[in-house]
Amino acid sequence: MTTYRLEIRVTPRPGILDPQGKAIHHALHSLGWSDVDDVRVGKAIHLELEADSEEAARAEATAMCEKLLANPVTENFEIDRVETGTTEAG
């Protein structure tokens, strides 16, 4: 088996109120960055799991997101990065 390191990004769905994003957007404008049009705040989740293939690792991570890591009503998720490492024998 191979160890896969995945980065999952969870963000609010478009149209969902994002108070943290609004506060940051306002602060950036106050500090002179008036070119910023919108800010959305989400979370990054880093997982390490063992799987037979990258496809299997992505499928397992997708199931985790759909059942626990992301709220399907208010959040979207993306599996952004997959890195591989080898599992130590022992």
- In this structure, what DSSP letter does residue 87 have? P
Residue 18 lies in domain: 2-85
Q: Specify if 79 maps to a domain.
A: yes
pLDDT at 89 over 80: no
Tell me the pLDDT tens digit for each residue of 33-57: 999 999 999 999 999 999 999 999 9
The total number of structural domains in the chain stands at 1
Closest CA to 79 of 9, 21, 24: 9
Residue 8, in any domain of the structure? yes
Q: How many Cβ atoms from other residues are within 10 Å of residue 77's Cβ?
A: 21
Please give the structure tokens belonging to residue 18.
């994002």
* Helices first, then strands: H and E counts in the chain: 2, 3
- Does residue 23 form part of some domain? yes
- Look up the CATH number of the domain holding residue 15: 3.30.1280.10
Cβ atoms of 46 and 68 closer than 8 Å: no
Predicted local distance difference test score (pLDDT) of residue 86:
61
- CB neighbours (10 Å) of residue 20? 12
